[in-house]
Chains A and B, each alone.
Chain A
Amino acid sequence: MTVTARAAPAPQPATLTLRPSVAKLSAAALETFRKAIEKTLALDDERGYEYFANWHGITLGYCRHHEDLFLPWHRAYLYYFEQALRAVEPTVALPWWDWTASAEIPTAYTETSDPAGNPNVLLKAPVKPWGPADQFPPETVRKVGAAPVQGPPYDLSYVMAASSYTDFEERLWGIHDTLHVWVGGTMGDPSWAAYDPLFWAHHCMVDRVWRIWQHSTHSQPPPASSLETALEPKGMRVRETLEVRGLGYDYVGTASAVAGTVPAAGATAGAVS
């Protein structure tokens, strides 16, 4: 018998993922993001896009709405999905859609093809949940503006003025719900919403707004009674979701880096210009 000792992995410096605005994505960063989506769409197991879409709606339905766990659950959800994307494209970061600044869905999510002429994987995605599928929609669709609700841009001043977690979360989920319903189609139904690539940009923005409010002097943590709650299905606790840098990411407007005095072993990830 031959026994081979496995070399200990070299310690790697932790790198912070800087989530960018969709509007500021460089062409190269957008291409990387599309590749990550495409690669995860091709995976039919627990590493794949469909698996994570299943978490939210059909068939696993773990999502939490209209309660204290709304923001923590979705923060953990984005974290695990981003990890899956980074497993196939190590430099990718989830972009956010700033629906306070634009009345339109970002063109990255609406154009029918990418610059190379391939179908745009961010326009729509197949709906292939686990389980019987004879009545499921075959792919995601949007009915933008069909619902009788106000579309973006949304003013966040009322949300950001909240000085209790409950107030803040309720005000933010109001905008969250409205945006889902405004986009409509499969985005307007929790069962299918997470299959739409736009879902992730929307929730990235929701998570970013929470992060920005956390920077304010009047922000509050979720109720103490929920802090030890384990979020399905991975068991991350609410307390662990409170500090985004502890999860290895942050939201920035701009970030620039220059060489230091020793060669960089790991650059800051993300694509912020």
Chain B
Amino acid sequence: MQQYTSDPLRLPPAGGPGFYRADLELLGVDKSGPSFVLDVFVGNEGADEATAHEITTGWAGTMAVFAHGDCWGGVGHCDLPRGPLDRFDRRPPHPLTPANLSMEITVALRFLGAVDEVVVTILAQEADPDRSERAQILRFSELMLVTYD
């Protein structure tokens, strides 16, 4: 199991108008490998596989990612990613173009009470327990916390 712990993410100032919704957005997620599962916790840096999936532990949700799977093509088949070559290139984006994934975490975040920042912990594991685990199951470029007020 891979554990990712974020740097603190800012929240709207305590005592302000607050927010009616909060989304956690994983940007540029690499889905070129096998399917995987993410357990997301807020305000619990020590969360691990033994941590209960309850709001009191900061659990915000579990997300399964139906990823691309192994490459079965020839050399270069899954090289990342080709974009449009020019304005005449009408081909759709390469299927391995990194994805942006979103999870609404409003309830879990509110449960933390009046805090100005929060640390997000993500536990990533292979969906198929018979697979030998990769060192880096979750690869992404940025984690963003968005609130709406």
Determine if chain A interacts with chain B.
yes
Q: Which residues of B contact A (CB under 8 A)?
A: 31, 34-35, 37, 39, 62-70, 72-73, 92-93, 95, 99-103, 125, 127-130
What band does the interface of chain A fall in when counting residues whose beta carbon is under 8 Å from B? Answer: 35 or more
* Residues from 126 to 156 in A contacting B, C-beta threshold 8 Å: 135-136, 143, 146-150
Picked from A63, A146, A174, A178, the residue with its CB within 8 Å of the CB of B128 is: A146
Q: Is the CB of B102 within 8 A of A149?
A: no
Q: Is the CB of B102 within 8 A of A148?
A: no
CB of B83 to closest CB in A, whole Å: 14
A58 close to B (CB within 8 Å): yes
A176 close to B (CB within 8 Å): yes
A67 to B31, CA, bound (A): 13
Which residues of chain B come closer than 8 Å to A177, judged between CB atoms? 35, 63-66
A166 to B69, CA, bound (A): 25
Secondary structure of the A contact surface, majority rule: loop
CB of A191 to closest CB in B, whole Å: 4
Nearest neighbor of B71 in chain A, beta-carbon distance: A191
Q: Is the CB of B72 within 8 A of A188?
A: no
A149 to B36, CA, bound (A): 10
Q: Is the CB of A189 within 8 A of B34?
A: yes
19 contacts between A and B (CB under 8 A): A58-B72, A64-B92, A64-B95, A66-B99, A67-B99, A135-B72, A146-B128, A148-B127, A149-B62, A174-B63, A178-B63, A181-B64, A181-B127, A182-B64, A188-B35, A190-B66, A190-B67, A193-B66, A229-B92
Nearest neighbor of A193 in chain B, beta-carbon distance: B66
Binary B-proximity of A105-126 (CB < 8 A = 1, otherwise 0): 0000000000000000000000
Q: Which residues of A contact B (CB under 8 A)?
A: 57-59, 61, 63-67, 69, 135-136, 143, 146-150, 170, 174, 176-178, 180-182, 184-185, 188-193, 229, 232
Given A67-B99, A147-B64, A188-B35, 9 new contacts (CB under 8 A): A143-B130, A147-B35, A174-B103, A177-B65, A188-B127, A188-B128, A190-B69, A191-B69, A191-B70
CB of B132 to closest CB in A, whole Å: 15
A174 to B64, CA, bound (A): 7
Q: Is the CB of B127 within 8 A of A66?
A: no
Nearest neighbor of B31 in chain A, beta-carbon distance: A66
A176 to B34, CA, bound (A): 16
Supposing A65-B66, A67-B99, A148-B125 touch, asked if A181 and B37 sit within 8 A by C-beta, the answer is: yes
Which residues of chain B come closer than 8 Å to A178, judged between CB atoms? 63-64
CB of B110 to closest CB in A, whole Å: 16
A136 to B68, CA, bound (A): 15
A188 to B127, CA, bound (A): 8
